[in-house]
C-alpha cells in the first residue's frame, strides 16, 4: 500500500495546508460579499472561483497528508495547479472591459475588446487543458515523464501569452484614451485608472513568478530538489496567488465595472 512519502517523495508539514485553505476561503467569502454589495458585473465571480478552488486544493492536500490515494492526489494536483489560469482570465476580462467602455475609435486590432477577450481566453483554455491533462498523468507511475512535459508545454504557453498580455496592458496604460469610471471617494480622476491598471499589472507579475516556479519545478522533475523543497511551494505558489487574490479583495475594483442595467450615479464620470 502506497504511503504519503511514496506520492509526495517527502513528508509534508501539517498545519500549513489547513491554514492556506482557511485563508483562501475567507478571500472567497469576502469577495462574494463585495461583488453583491457593489452590484458588480457577474464575471467578477471568476475571482471568487479562483479563491474557492485554491481552498479546495489545500483541503485535498491536507487529506492526502493523512489518507493519501491516487484519486485524492490527482485532485490535489489539479486544484493547486489550475486556479491561476482563472485568475489570468480575470485580468484579461478587466482589460477587455476597459477597452470596451473606452469606445476608442480606429484602435489597432490588438487593442480591441473582442481580440483581448477571445485571443487570450483561447490561449488560457489551451494552457488549462494541457496543464490539467499533464497534472493527471504525473500521478500515474508509467505516465509521469510524459505528463511532466505536457505540463511544461502548458506552462510555457501560459508564460508566453501572459507576457504578451502584460505588454498590451502597459501600452493601454500609456494611452490616455483608455479610461476607467471614477467612483465617489476617488481623490482625483486619475486614481481609478491607476488602481485598475496597477492591480492588473501587479497581479499578472505575481502569476508570472508563480508560473516560472512551476515550470522550473517540472523541468527539475518529480521528486527533484525543487519539488521536495516544500517551503518553495508555499513561497512561490501559495504566497503569489494569495497576494494576487488578496490584492483584489483589499482594493476592490468591482464598482468600476457595474452590472448591466445598473445606472451610474451623477457623481460618477469618466476619467
Instruction: With residue 182 as reference, give the H or E element that holds it.
Output: strand 181-182
Say how far apart CA 145 and CA 213 lie, in whole Å: 18
What is the predicted pLDDT for the residue at 183? Answer: 66
Query: 162: Cβ–Cβ under 8 A, 6 or more apart, which residues?
Result: 88, 204, 207, 208, 211
Identify which of 224, 209, 233, 229 has the alpha carbon closest to the alpha carbon of residue 17. 233
What is the predicted pLDDT for the residue at 102? Answer: 87
Mean pLDDT by 10 residues, the chain (271 residues): 85 95 98 93 96 98 92 92 94 93 86 88 91 83 85 93 95 90 63 92 97 93 90 97 98 88 45 37
Query: 113: Cβ–Cβ under 8 A, 6 or more apart, which residues?
Result: 96, 97, 99, 100
Quote the pTM value: 0.90
What is the predicted pLDDT for the residue at 7? Answer: 87
CB atoms closer than 10 angstroms to residue 260: 6
Say how far apart CA 56 and CA 186 lie, in whole Å: 36
What is the predicted pLDDT for the residue at 235? Answer: 97
205's grid cell:
507579475
What is the predicted pLDDT for the residue at 150? Answer: 92
Q: Are 179 and 271 in contact (CB under 8 A)?
A: yes
Amino acid at each position: 500500500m502506497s504511503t504519503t512519502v511514496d506520492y509526495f517523495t517527502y513528508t509534508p508539514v501539517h498545519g500549513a495546508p489547513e491554514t492556506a485553505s482557511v485563508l483562501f476561503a475567507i478571500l472567497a467569502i469576502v469577495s462574494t460579499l463585495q461583488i453583491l454589495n457593489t452590484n458588480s458585473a457577474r464575471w467578477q465571480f471568476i475571482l471568487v472561483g479562483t479563491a474557492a478552488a485554491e481552498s479546495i486544493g489545500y483541503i485535498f492536500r491536507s487529506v492526502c497528508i493523512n489518507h493519501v490515494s491516487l484519486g485524492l492526489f490527482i485532485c490535489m494536483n489539479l486544484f493547486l495547479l489550475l486556479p491561476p489560469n482563472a485568475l489570468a482570465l480575470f485580468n484579461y476580462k478587466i482589460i477587455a472591459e476597459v477597452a470596451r467602455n473606452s469606445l476608442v475609435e480606429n484602435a489597432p486590432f490588438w487593442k480591441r475588446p473582442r481580440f483581448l477577450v477571445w485571443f487570450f481566453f483561447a490561449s488560457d483554455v489551451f494552457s488549462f487543458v494541457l496543464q490539467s491533462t499533464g497534472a493527471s498523468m504525473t500521478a500515474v507511475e508509467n505516465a509521469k515523464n510524459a505528463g511532466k512535459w505536457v505540463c511544461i508545454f502548458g506552462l510555457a504557453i501560459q508564460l508566453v501569452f501572459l507576457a504578451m498580455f502584460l505588454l498590451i496592458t502597459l501600452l493601454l496604460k500609456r494611452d490616455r484614451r483608455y479610461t476607467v469610471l471614477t467612483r465617489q471617494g476617488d481623490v482625483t480622476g486619475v486614481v481609478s485608472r491607476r488602481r485598475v491598471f496597477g492591480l492588473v499589472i501587479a497581479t499578472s507579475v505575481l502569476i508570472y513568478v508563480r508560473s516560472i516556479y512551476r515550470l522550473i519545478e517540472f523541468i527539475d522533475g518529480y521528486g527533484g530538489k525543487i519539488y521536495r523543497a516544500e517551503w518553495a511551494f508555499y513561497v512561490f505558489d501559495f504566497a503569489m496567488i494569495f497576494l494576487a487574490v488578496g490584492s483584489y479583495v483589499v482594493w476592490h475594483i468591482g464598482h468600476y465595472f457595474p452590472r448591466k442595467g445598473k445606472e451610474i450615479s451623477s457623481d460618477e464620470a469618466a476619467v
